[in-house]
Every structure is written in C-alpha cells, then in structure tokens.
Amino acid sequence: MKKLFLLAIGATFCSIVSTYATPKTLWLIGDAAMAHYTDSTLAYGWGTAFEQYVNNRIDIVNMAGPSISATFFDDNNTIIKIKKKKKKSYILIQLGTNDLREDIPSQYSSSETFALRLNKIISTAHKNKINIILCTPLAQPYYKDGLLINRLGVYPDIIRRVATYNHVLLLDLEALTRNWLNEMTEEQAAAYYVTLDRRQLVNGEYQLNKEGAEVVAKMAKAAILNSESKLKKEIIK
C-alpha cells in the first residue's frame, strides 16, 4: 500500500514537473493594432500590452505588423516554421483589416478566399498539434454625423463563422471595441489613439496609443477568462 502511494506521488510529481518544464510559446500574428513598436509615440500595439497577462512560463513572439494578412501564412509557410521550433505553441491570430485591401493585391483576399485561407490555417495548425485562437479585428474610430462607421465589411463575421465551425477559441474584439467606441464621441475616442500627424506614419490608419492598447489588452484577457476553453488556465496568469 505504501509503495503504491509513493508511486502515485511520484507520478503526480513527474506530471507537474513536465507541465512546468515543457517549453511553450505564444505567437502573436496580426495587423498593426497588435504589433510591437520600438517607438511607442508612433503607436502602441495591444499585443505588447497583453504580454503582462500571459503566464510567465510562456515565451511570447510578436510577429504582427502593418502588412500582415491571411496571405502571410501562404507566403511564409508559417505554421510549419513554428512547428519546427519543437515547443508547444499557441498562435493568437488577428486578421481581417488588411485582407479587405483590394488596392494591395499582396494582402487582399476576397470574402470567399479569406474563409478558405482561415480554414486552411486552422487545419494545418491542428494537424501539427498547434493551438489556434482567432481574434476579430478592432473596430476603427471613424465617425460620420456622430455615428461609428463600419469599415471592416463582412470580414469579422467570416472569422466568427470559421471559429465556430472549427471549434476554436474566438476573441470577438471587433464587437467589444465597437461597443466601447459607441459609448464615446469622436473627440473622446481620440484620447486612446495617436494623433493625426503620427497616425500617417503607420499606413495612414488610426493606431492605438498606450492607453488604448491597455484597454484592448484587458478586453482580450477578459474574453479568454470568460470562455470555456481549457487554454485560459494555460495562457493567462
């Protein structure tokens, strides 16, 4: 009986050690809103602000940038490269902003192609035992006659449908930031974004400042913790 008890304790200890010792990486892949900026006066990505909430045992690699779209995964064979790192990986993906840019063919996906690309990304990740978390893009603070304008078309809805179909965790940041911005005037919203002259340095789009990034990062954290996904215990402190 004593021997069995010691064996059970030993197995539990090994399991705990294995859990803590297993190298893990959280990859952030998305558009400029998620990116890391060396000069925070230009913009402050919510991915950078989100790092403070991530489990200390997880390494973070921020690959987000102003030109990232679903084509990034086609062109760079991204999933396979991540698999070769031989670490347990989570990929937090935020697409849908650059994908609608018909004026930039290298980034553009039609709505149908966008859905196909997202499904392929998830399928490839799952085959390689990589966990995917999808994020809808951030609503943008463009107003007309005091009302928020939808500049993202059908792309957030496509992400929602793909996430549901593939049973992956979805952070609906578009809905969360849209509701947040709808509670403010354009003048009030400006306090969370870089100024116009700075904004033009990042693709001419509105970009978050540090205060705005902190708000969105808290939204992302809450969305994970409020989900039923087992990943919340692994990723969040």
Q: Does 77 score more than 90 pLDDT?
A: no
From the CB of residue 33, how many other CB atoms can be counted at a distance below 10 Å?
Answer: 28
Residue 24, both tokens: 């893990």
From the CB of residue 219, how many other CB atoms can be counted at a distance below 10 Å?
Answer: 21
Cα–Cα distance for residue pair 72/118, rounded to 1 Å: 11
Q: Does 199 score more than 50 pLDDT?
A: no
Q: Which helix (H) or strand (E) holds 27?
A: strand 24-30
Cα–Cα distance for residue pair 90/131, rounded to 1 Å: 5
Looking at domain 25-235, its CATH class is: alpha beta
- In this structure, are residues 52 and 63 in contact, taking their beta carbons and an 8 Å threshold? no
The whole-number pLDDT of residue 116 equals 97
Q: Mean of the per-residue pLDDT values for the chain?
A: 87
Cα–Cα distance for residue pair 110/229, rounded to 1 Å: 30
pLDDT band at 197 (very low <50, low <70, confident <90, very high): low
From the CB of residue 65, how many other CB atoms can be counted at a distance below 10 Å?
Answer: 16
> Average pLDDT, stretch 34-59?
93
Domain range list for the chain: 25-235
Residue 189, both tokens: 């919203």
Residue carrying structure tokens 């086609």: 74
> Average pLDDT, stretch 26-31?
97
Cα–Cα distance for residue pair 206/194, rounded to 1 Å: 7
pLDDT band at 202 (very low <50, low <70, confident <90, very high): very low
